Amino acid sequence: FCDVVRSKKRLIRDHVLEHHKDEVDGLDEYNVGGGGGSAPPGKEIGHDCKECGARFKKPAHLKQHMQSHSPERPFACHVDGCPFSYSRKDHLNRHLLTHQGKLFMCPMEGCNRKFSIKGNIQRHVEEFHEDGPQCGGKKEFICPEANCGKVFKYASKLQKHEESHVNLDYTEVICCEPGCMKTFTNVECLKAHNQSCHQYVQCDICDTKQLKKNFKRHQRMHEGSFVTERIKCNFKDCKRSFSKKSNLHKHIKAVHEQSRPFTCGFSGCGQKFSYKHVRDNHEKSSVHVLFE
């Protein structure tokens, strides 16, 4: 019917019912209330997140998920020298596992990789061991680079891999920071990148190095009033409060003014988001899987 693509058949079905209803009347595959796992009339199939479109069976699960979209990070890691904080307690608990050491070993023969989180083993096996067990789904995304041809299960993995191919025709400088290796067309772009992503500041209190863009937030961890003085939202019936005015302004624009200034850059999508990081996560996810 159109060029829109979705990662799941359910999302395609919802799109067709919304935008192409007149074209599919009479087709059992798309009839409302028909087969394919549709809910009986008057009953909800699930609870959708208005920020990213994720669907949950229970309202409690949606409520927990919505915390991940908040710019607030009230759950801070209390391990000495660790600057990380999270919007959800379960994310903090998962992070704390990294301080307990790497307890889970890769089951593939000859591989000595270890992981702090058990779920990372399967992702590692799928990405680095071609003969390893697959948890479902065929790898479909092939690197177009000459003499490469590496295959990936997810479009986001392919996109990340493509960054490793340096195009010398357009590349002048490379970021040599450990684990980065991003390429830029001129020195000015590299300098701007380093200032925003790799510039560190020494904390005089705990003697740790922090990224400059995160340093103010790190300093507040040492203040006794880190979470005591909060700015309340004055909109009627809204009980949200924030530690920074900038977070309050983001909340007002996104929730009360329904502002969606960040648009997906993929052709044919056009989905808009309240927060830049949500848009970025959407673009990096497997939402834009190409169907043949």
Residues near 266 by beta carbon (within 8 Å), at least 6 away in sequence:
283, 288
Amino acid in the structure at residue 154: Y
Please tell me the distance from the alpha carbon of residue 170 to that of residue 162, in angstroms, as a whole number: 15
Indicate if 200 and 245 belong to the same structural domain: no
**Residue 74 confidence (pLDDT):** 78
Please tell me the distance from the alpha carbon of residue 142 to that of residue 149, in angstroms, as a whole number: 6
Please tell me the distance from the alpha carbon of residue 92 to that of residue 271, in angstroms, as a whole number: 30
Residues near 207 by beta carbon (within 8 Å), at least 6 away in sequence:
none
Q: Does a structural domain hold residue 145?
A: yes
Indicate if 196 and 175 belong to the same structural domain: yes
Instruction: Look at 197 and 34; give whichever has higher pLDDT.
Output: 197
The residue assigned the tokens 């996810």 is 285
What would the DSSP string read from start to end of 155-197?
HHHHHHHHTTS--TTT--EE--STTT--EESSHHHHHHHHHHH
Q: Does a structural domain hold residue 84?
A: no
3-class secondary-structure state, position 104: strand
Beta-ladder partners of 85? 76
Indicate if 176 and 219 belong to the same structural domain: yes
Residue 187 — very low, low, confident or very high, per pLDDT cuts 50/70/90?
A: confident
**Residue 263 confidence (pLDDT):** 84
**Residue 139 confidence (pLDDT):** 54
Please tell me the distance from the alpha carbon of residue 75 to that of residue 94, in angstroms, as a whole number: 12
**Residue 216 confidence (pLDDT):** 78
Residue 219, CB-side half-sphere exposure with 13 Å CA sphere: 10
Instruction: Look at 250 and 100; give whichever has higher pLDDT.
Output: 250
Mean pLDDT of the residues in the chain: 70
Tokens for 58, please give them.
Answer: 């229970």
Q: Does a structural domain hold residue 197?
A: yes
DSSP classification of residue 275 = S
**Is the pLDDT score of 87 beyond 80?**
no
Q: Does a structural domain hold residue 210?
A: yes
**Residue 181 confidence (pLDDT):** 65
Tokens for 290, please give them.
Answer: 């190409």
Lowest-confidence pick of 43-57, 82-96, 234-248: 43-57
Tokens for 229, please give them.
Answer: 């003085």
Q: Does a structural domain hold residue 213?
A: yes
Rounded average pLDDT over 197-206 = 75
Picking from 106, 108, 86, the residue whose alpha carbon sits closest to that of residue 95 is 86
**Residue 30 confidence (pLDDT):** 44
**Residue 11 confidence (pLDDT):** 64
Specify whether the CB–CB gap between 145 and 162 falls below 8 A.
Answer: yes
Specify whether the CB–CB gap between 288 and 5 falls below 8 A.
Answer: yes
Indicate if 172 and 191 belong to the same structural domain: yes
Indicate if 161 and 196 belong to the same structural domain: no
Residue 196 — very low, low, confident or very high, per pLDDT cuts 50/70/90?
A: confident
3-class secondary-structure state, position 289: coil
3-class secondary-structure state, position 253: helix
Residues near 226 by beta carbon (within 8 Å), at least 6 away in sequence:
220, 243
Q: Does a structural domain hold residue 123?
A: no
Report the 3 state secondary structure along 206-228. CCCEEEHHHHHHHHHCCCCCCCC
Q: Does a structural domain hold residue 215?
A: yes
Model confidence pTM above 0.85: no
Indicate if 149 and 187 belong to the same structural domain: no
Q: Does a structural domain hold residue 73?
A: no
Range of the domain at 250: 227-257
Indicate the number of domains in the chain. 3
**Is the pLDDT score of 80 beyond 70?**
yes
Indicate if 194 and 213 belong to the same structural domain: yes
Instruction: Look at 6 and 150; give whichever has higher pLDDT.
Output: 150
Indicate if 152 and 175 belong to the same structural domain: no
